Copies of this chain bind each other. A is one copy, B any other.
Amino acid sequence: MSTRRRLDPAQRRTELLDTGARLFAARPYEDVLMEDVAEQAGISRALLYRYFPSKRDLFAAVYRQAADRLLGEATFDPAGSLTEQVSAALDAHIDYFVANRNTVLAANRSLAGDRVIQTIIDEECAALQQRLLDATGFENRTRDLVAAVLMSWLMFVRTLCVDWLANRTCSREELRDICLGALRGALNPVVRFD
């Protein structure tokens, strides 16, 4: 210990969140030790546990921050066809997946069962579904049908993207085109897509 820093809890928290984000982005969840996080943040393990009662809690906070950031950035361009909009959204999403590879993999694999993580992912899906739904502008029965298909499709996309992130089975473009094709294929007979 050189000199002990006494910070405002809120500020300390954001610092810890940042170090956590850095480490969880750098290596797989299991390889990030609470010890490491504490050390990198220049505090004791005990204090880290005071702020985040468990490793999962820390990760959940980190992940939520990242997810919120994505949702905040990803704005739909009201101009352009629906295909273009969805395509752009997919690109943004894949960018995000690539940029946060380890974090995303941890959330969707190692911690897929965690209630908190699940909640975050569910909310993320719900938000995306809502936006897509708004972008389509359907009403009533059609809207509900499209909503169901969309949610199912989001599941499909997430699964495929996570698998792709882990196994790199195809090119980035192919991935996007497969997802887009799946949506078009599923939705085309239901409503006029473009």
Give A residues with C-beta under 8 Å from B. 105-106, 108-114, 118, 145, 148-149, 151-153, 155-156, 159, 182, 185-186, 189-190
A123 to B: closest C-beta gap in Å: 14
A72–B110 Cα distance when bound, in Å, is: 30
CA distance A185 to B189 in the complex (A): 11
Given contacts A152-B156, A155-B159, A156-B151, A145 and B185 within 8 Å (CB-CB): yes
Inter-chain contacts of A182 with B (CB < 8 A): 148, 152
A68 to chain B, nearest CB (A): 23
Smallest CB gap from A108: residue in B: B113
Instruction: Kindly identify which residue among B110, B112, B114, B186 contacts A186, using a CB–CB cutoff of 8 Å.
Output: B186
Shortest Cβ distance from residue A64 to the other chain B in the assembled complex, whole angstroms: 19
Q: Which residue of B lies closest to A162 (CB)?
A: B113
Residue of B with least CB distance to A110: B113
A51 to chain B, nearest CB (A): 24
Complex-state Cα separation, A152 to B186, whole angstroms: 10
Question: Which residues on the B side are within 8 Å of A112 (C-beta)?
Answer: 108-109, 112-113
A35 CB to nearest B CB, Å: 22
**What residues of chain B lie closer than 8 Å to A109, measured between beta carbons?**
112-114, 118
A145 to B185 Cα, complex, angstroms = 7
* Bound Cα distance A38, B112 (Å): 28
With both chains docked as a complex, state the minimum distance between the C-beta of A136 and any C-beta of chain B, in angstroms.
Answer: 16
Instruction: Name A107's closest neighbour in chain B (CB-CB).
Output: B113
> A108: which B residues are within 8 A, CB to CB?
112-113
What 3 A-B pairs come out closest when comparing CB atoms? A109-B113, A112-B112, A189-B189
**Chain B: which residue is nearest A106 at the CB level?**
B113
Tell whether, in the assembled complex, residue B148 and residue A185 are in contact, meaning their CB atoms are under 8 Å apart: yes
> What's the Cα separation between A148 and B153 when bound, in Å?
11
